[in-house]
Amino acid sequence: MPTADGVCIAGIDPNYQSIRPVLPPPGVLREHLYIKGKLVIRPSAKVIFDFHQVSIKPPHIENLGFDPDSIEYLGLCDKSEWGKVLGASSFSTVEDIYDGLLKEHRWVEPDANVRSLGTVSEVQIEDIEIEPLKIPGHYKPRLAFRDSTGWIFRLPVSDLSFRAFADYEISRIGTILAASSQILKTLQSANRLYLRIGLPGPWRNPSTGKVASWMQVTGIYTFPDYLGGKSFADFEATMRSSEAKAYDVKEIREKYSKAYTKWTEDEDNSLRNEYLRGKTVEGLARDFQRKPGAIRSRLLRLGLLN
């Protein structure tokens, strides 16, 4: 779940119980999802954390602290493993996740001592609504789905991968309406679909004044995978590439002579050394004759960007 550069991550432990790794303020950031430039914290990843107990504030009873430097990446689950994990950790209804404490099919009390994460199976997707955000090229999706009780839930989607996928589809197809229709067809055609439902911290509804933890869809998982094995980073990289091609490369190279050219091993070594000596991104952009965004991307790939 994205919050500017911050993200909320969740996982399933060997006992098929939900856990939420957390860090002290400013919390878990995008950079914590990577090891040496490789995205390792993502859906279906097998990751080892060095956990420790932290102060619990309901309903976030799944919170566990961790040491970012201790993360070990073991690869991705295969289709069978991932299906087993989702099936063994899922509930048949949304109400079952919250042990009867869910109010109005939407929220729980801020101090409710109940799990705040759960995966639900046996759901049918009814509709997708997407509205534009103030940031150009980014959108806020809302999912309508029916669980096995027949009740239709309409929840915002905070899943980072799905939101990047939706942004990409809108960019590719050209209109929100057409992209929404295509995404809906894709999800409805899945053989199996699981939704992870989560509760963020307490929030005051401006319409009612009610302070509560309101449900969100924090993960969407299908078989076959609607993402095609891609991550949010893959979709974002594709969109950046498409945007770059829309510019006049010749004009850009008048300022950055090496823009869009392939990095060499010598350049990588030099970039690493200069960055570790404390040179700024802007200074590196001048020295390497590449756009600041290209410098940041390369530093991230090299596992150097904080």
30, 49, 299 from 70: Cα distances, Å: 16, 6, 21
**CA nearest 154: which of 169, 143, 138?**
143
Q: How many domains does the chain have?
A: 2
120 shares a domain with 48: yes
pLDDT of residue 2: 47
In this structure, the answer to whether residues 226 and 255 fall within a common structural domain is no
What letter represents residue 53's amino acid?
Q
Tokens of 249: 């490369």
Q: Look-up: residue for tokens 């090299």?
A: 302
Nearest to 303 by CA among 34, 74, 42, 41: 34
Q: Is residue 306 part of a domain?
A: no
Asked whether 115 and 98 are in contact (CB, 8 A), the reply is yes
Please tell me whether residue 156 adopts helix, strand or coil conformation.
Answer: strand
**C-beta of residue 194 within 8 angstroms of C-beta of residue 218:** no
Q: How confident is the model at residue 3 (pLDDT cuts 50, 70, 90)?
A: very low
Q: Of the residues 187, 203, 233, which one is the last residue of a structural domain?
A: 233
Separation CA 185–CA 141 (nearest Å): 15
Whether residues 180 and 37 fall in one domain: yes
> Does a structural domain hold residue 240?
no
> The whole model's pTM is what?
0.78
Residue 134 binned pLDDT confidence (cut-offs 50, 70, 90): confident
Between CA 116 and CA 167 the distance in angstroms is 27
Q: Please tell me whether residues 13 and 97 are part of one structural domain.
A: yes
Question: What does the pLDDT read at residue 218?
Answer: 97
Residue 124 within any structural domain of the chain:
yes
Q: What is the pLDDT of residues 31-53, one digit of tens each?
A: 999 999 999 999 999 999 999 99
Say if residues 116 and 63 touch (Cβ distance below 8 Å): no
C-beta separation of 277 from 269 below 8 A: no
Which of 233, 261, 286 is the last residue in one of the domains?
233
Alpha helices in the chain (DSSP H): 79-88, 94-97, 160-173, 176-188, 232-245, 249-253, 265-276, 281-288, 292-301
Last residue of a domain, one of 205, 233, 261: 233
Residue 241: inside a domain: no
Residue 114 covered by a domain: yes
Residue with tokens 């009873």: 61
pLDDT band at 247 (very low <50, low <70, confident <90, very high): low
**Does an H or E element contain 231, and which?**
none
Query: What's residue 245's pLDDT?
Result: 64
Range of the domain at 36: 2-233
Sorted by sequence, the CB contacts under 8 Å of residue 45 that are 6+ apart come out as: 73, 74, 75, 76, 77
Residue 155 has pLDDT above 50, yes or no: yes
- Average pLDDT (135-149) is 91
Whether residues 157 and 297 fall in one domain: no
Top pLDDT among 123 and 206 is at 123
Over 80: is that where the pLDDT of 102 sits? yes
Same domain, 260 and 153: no
Q: Distance between CA 63 and CA 22 in Å, rounded?
A: 6
Host H or E run for residue 195: strand 192-198
Residue 174 in domain: yes
